Chains A and B, each alone.
Chain A
Amino acid sequence: MVDALREARRVLTRRGVLIDVRPVVAPIVVEVVIDAQAIWAVEVASFSAPEDTVAADAAVQQALSSGWFGFEKSIAFDFEIFCDTAAELRAYANARKLRGAEIPYVELEARQRAMRGEGQALRLRCRRLWMLSTYGKDRF
């Protein structure tokens, strides 16, 4: 990871900007929604790769302390995924580093089925906190 930051610095112009955007190690919120309005929600722990996050943070700290970049700002935001079924959500989770997150697929299916019985058009929403940070080269 430090090598990637060194390479990023090399290819950036003198006043270039590095943008680092990635998920935060924080609970994921899984919801049953109607028109983006949550009617049931559960928070699940994300064990997708906390060691990766620790290593990435350490690499960034090393780059900062080495004077390669200067911190500018951070912006937190929710990243949302909408699915029709728990099976779709599981496929997404398995493909996108959410493997290991304790998403209660069986309960989601049951909730969705029960609420569908009431004639409502339901979807599943998975919300995860992400952070975007920017760093300037040779600006400090």
Chain B
Amino acid sequence: MPTDIDPARVMPRVILQSAGLRDARVLEVGAGDGRLTFQYAAQSQSVIGIDTMEPDIRSAVSAPPTDFGGQVQFLCASATALPFSAEQFEVVLLASSL
């Protein structure tokens, strides 16, 4: 059996409880390979996940879950120079990235 990370999906549940993501445009900073992103993204309007680790971003782009129906994009970008204009997101999620 492979390593199971958060098999009870506690983290996405806590995220969804903490803020109204329905109809929200979400920016996830530190999205890595998208493991967390794909667990909550279907509950939001859209998610853009960024990370500075290009291999992780490539992995996220290439391997969405087969049953995933959300709007997700991944970009290689830095949290200190976000490639977005002002006031584009209702939620910014810093995923272990501070």
Contacts and interface: CB of A to CB of B under 8 A. Distances in A.
Contact of A11 (B7, B8, B10, B88): B88
B15 A132 contact: yes
Contacts, number: 118
Contacts of B89: 11-13, 16
Contacts of B17: 75
Size bin of chain B's contact surface:
35 or more
Contacts of A82: 3-4, 7
The bracket for how many chain A residues form the interface is 35 or more
Contacts of A56: 98
A79 B36 CA distance: 12
A83 B3 contact: yes
Contact of A80 (B6, B14, B87): B6
Contacts of A10: 82, 86-87
Contacts of B76: none
Given A82-B4, A92-B3, A11 B18 contact: no
A84 B1 contact: yes
A78 interface: yes
Contact of B92 (A18, A73, A77, A89): A18
Interface in A1-20: 1, 3-5, 7-8, 10-20
Given A18-B91, A77-B10, A82-B4, 6 more contacts: A8-B79, A12-B91, A12-B92, A21-B93, A60-B98, A81-B6
Interface of B: 1, 3-8, 10-11, 14-15, 17-19, 27, 29, 79-82, 84-98
Interface of A: 1, 3-5, 7-8, 10-23, 56, 59-60, 73, 75, 77-84, 88-89, 91-92, 97, 123, 130, 132, 134
